Structure 1
């Protein structure tokens, strides 16, 4: 009876606090320079992830010859990409482990762990002896290294999104968080560019002998620099505020709590990640193969076009983040989805002509819509969850959806093209994903641009902005009613007991 009474008092206390006016000490003033350092440090880690992604994809044929020499050409590629895909299998496990850890120990520590683990795994691939030297042990070591990479990646991207979103002013969250995806593009460009350059200088024979190791060895100094930058970061203001507000009554959030009390944003997040990853992997990963294998376009020519497109995307991504702070990330995402629905088929018709300028134009149209997601998702996805579960819930959401739909996109599209003998299958797949996306975004996603994150205090850039926030406490604490409902759900089982 005493516990039941305590729970009722606690619920009353929560409701009463939600009606209190906001105090100036509740508003966080963000140091812009510190926020910029956070963006650079986290974006560097994301660049490392995609650097590895780029070099492994572009070295697939060479890696097959080094580690699977007894297989024929096509089978070599299958085994090489199977080893690549193995990382996607463990990503959700890594996301669960590091995500829950990040909600308990803090974002900074866990992000430093994931980066150094990823760097060690990537470096180790470059040090593994060939199949000719140690036989099948080399293949096993390659698989283990890929599994470690996937495990660390599971906590990397979700943690990076969480860290940046919690470290930036509310009114600049979009443009600063878009820097994370700039890291993605820079990493992929660097990885693919270095492989192309080294292959051109050394030639195919030397690449198989020893040249393939160079890109993997380069990851070591990048990892050291990234770890140094991240270890010097301050913990996010949102996490620190949550820790200060904790009382002895607060208990650690479990996986069961996330699934039971936050299932709706989990599902919404998975669908957002679904269409985002379908577009992302379609354009950056699948298109080089589509240009050469399906359309008969020159392989080197196709790769150079993709790299040029990615270079042009860099400022577009930042522009999308900038405009999301002004008109809302929801509107930017809706615009990108509507654009894909109507222009995917015309874009692939242009790409199918084989004319260099039309191919480039078709790729750029698709790239602009991808940039609309890259510039907004790093700020939109973290806003779905409350501070105490943000890292863990986002890691679960992102990695499960990315593993199911992102990594499988090239495989599914290639299979459907073979089945239907239609070159427009990629366009139809993009339209299908976009139709699902536009429905969910329109009816189930709240506009959060310029507002505090769920469960976090308002964050401003200048002290004079505090007064504006205090004049509209309901706007600053827009998430309170939603939080009260979750707290009541948590307390109900205690009452029944």
Structure 2
């Protein structure tokens, strides 16, 4: 086997850690906006769907607006993914954070239905569509950038840092909304108080823009793609050649995001509308759970590098099966301590995925098609499964009149995920990214890669089998 040691990617671990922080800011921005929409869904429904008499239907319309916007994510993924593979990962990450900040601000300044009639929900939908389009290139780009900038043996743990951005954005939103609920009256909150958090998107966005503008391009893009773009396979060819990897990605993203949106998107409204637990109580309890999730996610990321991502993801799915029904039973017991335990159970399951997925999903695809394929595949799955989770959960609860219905939904998804992971997924922790030479951060790692060419280019055997 020919092995050119000059193609080994050597990275600075400190720079890799800085890139995690810079990309994590964008993720924090995305989830700050998402958390605001989730926590304030009841108030938003009253302001933008006031003619609807049934409060439950108002909430469903609000979540429907939320879900429809997700349909633009695959479009954004296709466009930004193609740009990212052609011109670099950095330029896309710079554009998307500006678009996310703008769309979040727009929601905060929109007139209500009582002020401009039917144009209010239409403009709300357009703002969510802009958000969905920009996020289509954001998260996949961040995952790819971190994976390509990290040493192979630390890729999972550094990738988990991206999800710390998710939790941080959500925690900041939780704390801010809690303070507003505690300091403002219901009338003030419904009238103008709910707008205040959306204005913070501008300073967060500008800070993220500053950090990203000072990033270097990923070493793998510079070494493997930037000067070798003559023959890029088309979409149909990619689907035909990598159908197994695409299927795996869709399933991974499905169980990850259904768990994610069930806890972080649907839960505030579920507790309020179905259990009568006010935001004044549920929001701070959720914030505490999110804070606890941070060390859990980092720990599972380290375990992913040490034990292998397949084993750790399997642990998460088993926990999802065990905790799915029990957690919702605890939530329905009417006690503060049981509320905390139920949310924490779901939080631990989500922590497993947050610790492993950002560093695992980019390993499914080859370097020359990684960004665009991961981008549209990820966003297609998020749109179908993640974005619809609050809507599906609301509908299941409404139709069955069973408050445990969302738990059964999570149970079914976790079972399917476990079967797929055990039968189709091969561990990728510590291995070079498909289509590229190893990425190392020390002389010892460099020498090991040179001395073990077959292990370093393990993906060539898989590529040969496909051909």
Same fold, TM exceeding 0.5?
yes
One of 81, 92, 102 as aligned partner of 2:84: 102
Q: Which residue of 1 aligns with 2:209?
A: 227
CA distance in 2 between counterparts of 1:422 and 1:125 reads 33
CA distance in 2 between counterparts of 1:457 and 1:388 reads 13
Indicate whether 1:282 and 2:270 are aligned: no
Structure 1 pair 78–39 and aligned structure 2 pair: CA distance change class (3 A): same
Structure 1 pair 423–126 and aligned structure 2 pair: CA distance change class (3 A): closer
One of 174, 191, 214 as aligned partner of 2:196: 214
Which residues in structure 2 correspond to 1:322-341 (within 5 Å)? 322-341=302-321
CA distance in 2 between counterparts of 1:61 and 1:244 reads 47
Q: Which residue of 1 aligns with 2:168?
A: 186
Task: Report the TM-score, using the length of structure 1 for normalisation.
Answer: 0.89
Q: 1:452 touches 1:477 (CA, 8 Å); kept in 2? A: yes
Q: Which residue of 1 aligns with 2:287?
A: 307
Indicate whether 1:159 and 2:141 are aligned: yes
- Structure 2: segments with no counterpart, 5+ residues: none
1:33-59: per-residue Cα shift (whole Å, max 9, x none)? 211121011111011001001112222
Give the superposition deviation at 1:73: 5.7
Look up the SS of the partner of 1:381 in the other structure: helix
Q: Which residue of 2 aligns with 1:44?
A: 25
CA distance in 1 between counterparts of 2:274 and 2:111 reads 35
Look up the SS of the partner of 1:253 in the other structure: coil
Q: In terms of mean alpha carbon deviation, does 68-77 or 51-60 score higher?
A: 68-77
Q: 2:34 touches 2:265 (CA, 8 Å); kept in 1? A: no
Give the superposition deviation at 1:70: 3.9
Q: 1:321 touches 1:376 (CA, 8 Å); kept in 2? A: yes
Indicate whether 1:26 and 2:12 are aligned: no
Look up the SS of the partner of 1:464 in the other structure: helix
Superposition CA RMSD, Å: 2.0
1:389-435: per-residue Cα shift (whole Å, max 9, x none)? 11111111111111111122232233333433433323322221111
Indicate whether 1:63 and 2:63 are aligned: no
Give the superposition deviation at 1:292: 3.4
**Matched positions, count:** 466
Q: Which residue of 1 aligns with 2:159?
A: 177
CA distance in 1 between counterparts of 2:53 and 2:246 reads 43
Q: Which residue of 1 aligns with 2:357?
A: 377
Q: 2:265 touches 2:390 (CA, 8 Å); kept in 1? A: yes
CA distance in 2 between counterparts of 1:144 and 1:416 reads 27
Q: Which residue of 2 aligns with 1:259?
A: 239
Look up the SS of the partner of 2:411 in the other structure: helix
Look up the SS of the partner of 1:93 in the other structure: helix
CA distance in 2 between counterparts of 1:78 and 1:284 reads 16
Give the superposition deviation at 1:131: 4.2
Q: Which residue of 2 aligns with 1:367?
A: 347
Structure 1 pair 370–411 and aligned structure 2 pair: CA distance change class (3 A): same
1:178-198: per-residue Cα shift (whole Å, max 9, x none)? 011111111112123212222
CA distance in 2 between counterparts of 1:244 and 1:302 reads 49
CA distance in 2 between counterparts of 1:125 and 1:298 reads 23
One of 392, 411, 414 as aligned partner of 2:394: 414
Larger radius of gyration: 1
CA distance in 2 between counterparts of 1:359 and 1:78 reads 24
Q: 1:381 touches 1:394 (CA, 8 Å); kept in 2? A: yes
CA distance in 2 between counterparts of 1:346 and 1:55 reads 27
Q: In terms of mean alpha carbon deviation, does 194-203 or 87-96 score higher?
A: 194-203
One of 233, 238, 245 as aligned partner of 2:220: 238
1:432-453: per-residue Cα shift (whole Å, max 9, x none)? 1111111111111111111111
Look up the SS of the partner of 2:325 in the other structure: helix
Structure 1 pair 95–304 and aligned structure 2 pair: CA distance change class (3 A): same
Task: Report the TM-score, using the length of structure 2 for normalisation.
Answer: 0.94
- Structure 1: segments with no counterpart, 5+ residues: 1-18, 489-497
Which residues in structure 2 correspond to 1:401-440 (within 5 Å)? 401-440=381-420
Q: Which residue of 2 aligns with 1:445?
A: 425
Give the superposition deviation at 1:76: 3.9
1:293-326: per-residue Cα shift (whole Å, max 9, x none)? 3334444222222221111001110111011110
1:303-352: per-residue Cα shift (whole Å, max 9, x none)? 22222111100111011101111001110010111122233333333333
Give the superposition deviation at 1:133: 4.5
Q: In terms of mean alpha carbon deviation, does 151-160 or 335-344 score higher?
A: 335-344
Q: In terms of mean alpha carbon deviation, does 236-245 or 185-194 score higher?
A: 236-245
Q: Which residue of 2 aligns with 1:16?
A: none
Q: 1:291 touches 1:302 (CA, 8 Å); kept in 2? A: yes
Structure 1 pair 78–99 and aligned structure 2 pair: CA distance change class (3 A): same
Q: Which residue of 2 aligns with 1:148?
A: 130
Q: In terms of mean alpha carbon deviation, does 220-229 or 406-415 score higher?
A: 406-415
Q: 2:87 touches 2:226 (CA, 8 Å); kept in 1? A: no
Indicate whether 1:115 and 2:97 are aligned: yes
Indicate whether 1:477 and 2:457 are aligned: yes
CA distance in 2 between counterparts of 1:482 and 1:467 reads 24
